Amino acid sequence: MRQLTLDLQPAAPPSLENYVTGSNGEALTALAAWLAADNRETLFFLCGERGAGKSHLLQACADAYGDARLDPGLARLPATADLWAVDHLEMLDEGGQIVLFNLINRLRTGSGRLLLAACLPPRLLELREDLRTRLASGLVYRLRCLSDAEKRAAFAAQARTLGLDLSPTLIDYLFARAPRDMRSLTQLLRAIDQFSLEQQRPITLPLLRAVLQTAPPT
Protein backbone atom coordinates (compact mmCIF):
# COMPACT_ATOMS: atom_id res chain seq x y z
CA MET A 1 0.00 0.00 0.00
CA ARG A 2 1.31 3.45 -0.89
CA GLN A 3 2.41 5.40 2.14
CA LEU A 4 0.42 8.53 2.79
CA THR A 5 2.45 11.67 3.33
CA LEU A 6 0.52 14.13 5.44
CA ASP A 7 2.95 16.95 4.71
CA LEU A 8 1.75 16.78 1.10
CA GLN A 9 -1.72 17.70 2.34
CA PRO A 10 -0.99 21.28 3.39
CA ALA A 11 -3.52 23.12 5.47
CA ALA A 12 -4.86 26.43 4.21
CA PRO A 13 -2.59 29.41 4.98
CA PRO A 14 -3.21 30.82 8.47
CA SER A 15 -5.88 33.50 8.59
CA LEU A 16 -8.19 35.03 11.16
CA GLU A 17 -11.07 33.27 9.42
CA ASN A 18 -9.68 29.75 9.81
CA TYR A 19 -8.50 30.22 13.40
CA VAL A 20 -10.69 28.09 15.68
CA THR A 21 -11.67 30.61 18.35
CA GLY A 22 -12.97 28.40 21.17
CA SER A 23 -12.93 30.42 24.39
CA ASN A 24 -10.63 33.08 22.91
CA GLY A 25 -13.35 35.34 21.59
CA GLU A 26 -12.29 38.35 23.68
CA ALA A 27 -8.67 38.11 22.51
CA LEU A 28 -9.73 37.73 18.86
CA THR A 29 -12.06 40.72 19.08
CA ALA A 30 -9.28 42.81 20.62
CA LEU A 31 -6.79 41.68 17.97
CA ALA A 32 -9.20 42.57 15.15
CA ALA A 33 -9.71 46.02 16.68
CA TRP A 34 -5.94 46.47 17.02
CA LEU A 35 -5.46 45.62 13.35
CA ALA A 36 -7.84 48.40 12.28
CA ALA A 37 -6.11 51.16 10.32
CA ASP A 38 -7.08 53.87 12.82
CA ASN A 39 -5.68 52.03 15.87
CA ARG A 40 -2.58 53.75 17.24
CA GLU A 41 -1.54 51.14 19.84
CA THR A 42 1.96 49.94 18.89
CA LEU A 43 2.23 46.56 20.65
CA PHE A 44 -0.08 43.57 20.97
CA PHE A 45 1.16 40.62 23.06
CA LEU A 46 -0.31 37.11 23.04
CA CYS A 47 0.66 34.56 25.67
CA GLY A 48 -0.47 31.01 26.24
CA GLU A 49 0.66 27.42 26.23
CA ARG A 50 1.73 25.47 23.18
CA GLY A 51 -1.20 24.60 20.93
CA ALA A 52 -3.27 27.69 21.71
CA GLY A 53 -2.76 29.07 18.19
CA LYS A 54 -0.33 31.94 18.83
CA SER A 55 1.84 31.19 15.80
CA HIS A 56 -1.24 30.83 13.60
CA LEU A 57 -2.39 34.35 14.47
CA LEU A 58 1.04 35.93 14.11
CA GLN A 59 1.54 34.38 10.68
CA ALA A 60 -1.98 35.38 9.66
CA CYS A 61 -1.51 39.04 10.52
CA ALA A 62 2.10 40.03 9.92
CA ASP A 63 3.93 41.43 6.92
CA ALA A 64 7.24 40.35 8.49
CA TYR A 65 7.35 37.26 10.73
CA GLY A 66 10.28 36.28 12.95
CA ASP A 67 10.51 33.09 15.00
CA ALA A 68 12.98 33.23 17.89
CA ARG A 69 12.86 29.45 18.16
CA LEU A 70 14.53 29.23 14.73
CA ASP A 71 16.31 32.59 14.74
CA PRO A 72 17.07 33.56 18.37
CA GLY A 73 19.13 36.56 17.30
CA LEU A 74 16.40 37.83 14.93
CA ALA A 75 19.07 38.17 12.25
CA ARG A 76 16.54 37.36 9.52
CA LEU A 77 13.84 39.75 10.71
CA PRO A 78 13.14 42.23 7.87
CA ALA A 79 14.25 45.79 8.51
CA THR A 80 11.08 47.36 7.14
CA ALA A 81 7.41 46.41 7.40
CA ASP A 82 4.05 47.85 8.35
CA LEU A 83 3.35 45.05 10.83
CA TRP A 84 6.06 42.89 12.37
CA ALA A 85 5.45 39.71 14.36
CA VAL A 86 7.97 38.01 16.65
CA ASP A 87 7.14 34.54 17.94
CA HIS A 88 8.50 32.45 20.85
CA LEU A 89 10.05 35.40 22.70
CA GLU A 90 11.21 33.10 25.48
CA MET A 91 13.83 31.76 23.02
CA LEU A 92 15.49 35.12 22.26
CA ASP A 93 19.23 35.28 22.86
CA GLU A 94 21.06 38.40 24.00
CA GLY A 95 21.42 39.76 20.50
CA GLY A 96 17.79 39.08 19.69
CA GLN A 97 16.66 40.95 22.78
CA ILE A 98 18.68 43.98 21.65
CA VAL A 99 17.17 43.79 18.15
CA LEU A 100 13.65 43.64 19.59
CA PHE A 101 14.29 46.42 22.10
CA ASN A 102 15.59 48.71 19.34
CA LEU A 103 12.66 47.85 17.09
CA ILE A 104 10.15 48.74 19.81
CA ASN A 105 11.92 52.05 20.40
CA ARG A 106 11.81 52.82 16.67
CA LEU A 107 8.11 52.07 16.52
CA ARG A 108 7.36 54.33 19.47
CA THR A 109 8.79 57.32 17.59
CA GLY A 110 7.80 56.30 14.06
CA SER A 111 5.18 54.18 12.38
CA GLY A 112 4.37 50.49 12.24
CA ARG A 113 3.11 47.95 14.74
CA LEU A 114 4.41 44.82 16.43
CA LEU A 115 2.56 41.60 17.29
CA LEU A 116 4.33 39.36 19.82
CA ALA A 117 3.88 35.93 21.34
CA ALA A 118 5.38 33.88 24.15
CA CYS A 119 4.40 31.08 26.50
CA LEU A 120 4.26 33.50 29.46
CA PRO A 121 3.14 37.11 29.98
CA PRO A 122 5.89 39.77 29.69
CA ARG A 123 6.52 40.15 33.42
CA LEU A 124 7.37 36.44 33.79
CA LEU A 125 9.73 36.10 30.84
CA GLU A 126 13.45 35.69 31.53
CA LEU A 127 14.44 38.69 29.44
CA ARG A 128 16.16 42.02 30.07
CA GLU A 129 14.18 44.12 32.53
CA ASP A 130 13.99 47.09 30.16
CA LEU A 131 12.64 44.82 27.40
CA ARG A 132 10.05 43.25 29.72
CA THR A 133 8.89 46.75 30.66
CA ARG A 134 8.51 47.71 27.00
CA LEU A 135 6.59 44.50 26.23
CA ALA A 136 4.22 45.00 29.16
CA SER A 137 3.38 48.53 27.99
CA GLY A 138 1.21 47.24 25.14
CA LEU A 139 -1.98 45.21 25.04
CA VAL A 140 -1.59 41.75 26.59
CA TYR A 141 -4.03 38.88 26.06
CA ARG A 142 -3.90 35.21 26.97
CA LEU A 143 -4.94 32.49 24.54
CA ARG A 144 -6.35 29.23 25.87
CA CYS A 145 -6.10 25.86 24.20
CA LEU A 146 -9.27 24.34 22.83
CA SER A 147 -11.02 21.83 25.03
CA ASP A 148 -11.51 18.33 23.63
CA ALA A 149 -15.17 19.16 23.00
CA GLU A 150 -14.20 22.29 21.04
CA LYS A 151 -11.64 20.33 19.01
CA ARG A 152 -14.21 17.67 18.19
CA ALA A 153 -16.72 20.31 17.09
CA ALA A 154 -14.12 22.07 14.94
CA PHE A 155 -12.97 18.76 13.45
CA ALA A 156 -16.54 17.76 12.59
CA ALA A 157 -17.16 21.19 11.02
CA GLN A 158 -14.02 20.87 8.87
CA ALA A 159 -15.15 17.41 7.79
CA ARG A 160 -18.53 18.77 6.73
CA THR A 161 -16.78 21.51 4.73
CA LEU A 162 -14.98 18.77 2.80
CA GLY A 163 -18.25 16.94 2.28
CA LEU A 164 -17.34 14.15 4.72
CA ASP A 165 -19.84 12.64 7.13
CA LEU A 166 -17.94 11.43 10.18
CA SER A 167 -20.04 9.78 12.86
CA PRO A 168 -19.24 10.36 16.56
CA THR A 169 -17.86 6.79 16.67
CA LEU A 170 -15.34 7.56 13.91
CA ILE A 171 -14.32 10.83 15.55
CA ASP A 172 -13.87 9.04 18.89
CA TYR A 173 -11.62 6.49 17.16
CA LEU A 174 -9.40 9.19 15.64
CA PHE A 175 -9.18 11.27 18.81
CA ALA A 176 -8.05 8.20 20.75
CA ARG A 177 -5.16 7.57 18.34
CA ALA A 178 -4.13 10.76 16.51
CA PRO A 179 -2.32 13.92 17.69
CA ARG A 180 -4.88 16.35 19.03
CA ASP A 181 -3.50 19.70 17.89
CA MET A 182 -5.68 21.30 15.23
CA ARG A 183 -2.92 21.52 12.62
CA SER A 184 -2.30 17.75 12.77
CA LEU A 185 -6.02 16.99 12.85
CA THR A 186 -6.61 19.16 9.78
CA GLN A 187 -3.81 17.41 7.90
CA LEU A 188 -5.17 14.04 8.95
CA LEU A 189 -8.64 14.94 7.73
CA ARG A 190 -7.26 15.91 4.31
CA ALA A 191 -5.36 12.62 4.14
CA ILE A 192 -8.54 10.68 4.98
CA ASP A 193 -10.42 12.55 2.27
CA GLN A 194 -7.70 11.85 -0.32
CA PHE A 195 -7.38 8.19 0.63
CA SER A 196 -11.14 7.66 0.50
CA LEU A 197 -11.30 9.21 -2.98
CA GLU A 198 -8.32 7.28 -4.31
CA GLN A 199 -9.56 3.96 -2.97
CA GLN A 200 -13.19 4.75 -3.81
CA ARG A 201 -14.16 3.53 -0.36
CA PRO A 202 -16.54 5.02 2.19
CA ILE A 203 -15.08 6.34 5.41
CA THR A 204 -15.31 3.46 7.86
CA LEU A 205 -13.24 2.19 10.78
CA PRO A 206 -11.19 -0.10 8.49
CA LEU A 207 -10.38 2.87 6.25
CA LEU A 208 -9.32 4.99 9.23
CA ARG A 209 -7.10 2.15 10.45
CA ALA A 210 -5.44 2.01 7.04
CA VAL A 211 -4.83 5.77 7.03
CA LEU A 212 -3.34 5.78 10.54
CA GLN A 213 -1.14 2.78 9.80
CA THR A 214 0.30 4.24 6.62
CA ALA A 215 0.65 7.84 7.76
CA PRO A 216 4.05 8.78 9.24
CA PRO A 217 4.16 10.18 12.81
CA THR A 218 3.58 13.92 13.07
Distance between CA atoms of residues 182 and 185, nearest Å:
5
Residue 189 near residue 155, CB atoms below 8 Å: yes
Q: Is 181 exposed, middle or buried (0-12, 13-18, 19+ CB in 10 A)?
A: middle
Distance between CA atoms of residues 119 and 204, nearest Å:
39
pTM as predicted: 0.81
Q: DSSP state, 6?
A: G
Query: Considering the chain, what is the average pLDDT of its residues?
Result: 89
The larger pLDDT score, comparing residue 43 to residue 153, is at 43
Q: Highest mean pLDDT: which of 4-8, 191-195, 211-215?
A: 191-195
First to last CA, the chain: 19
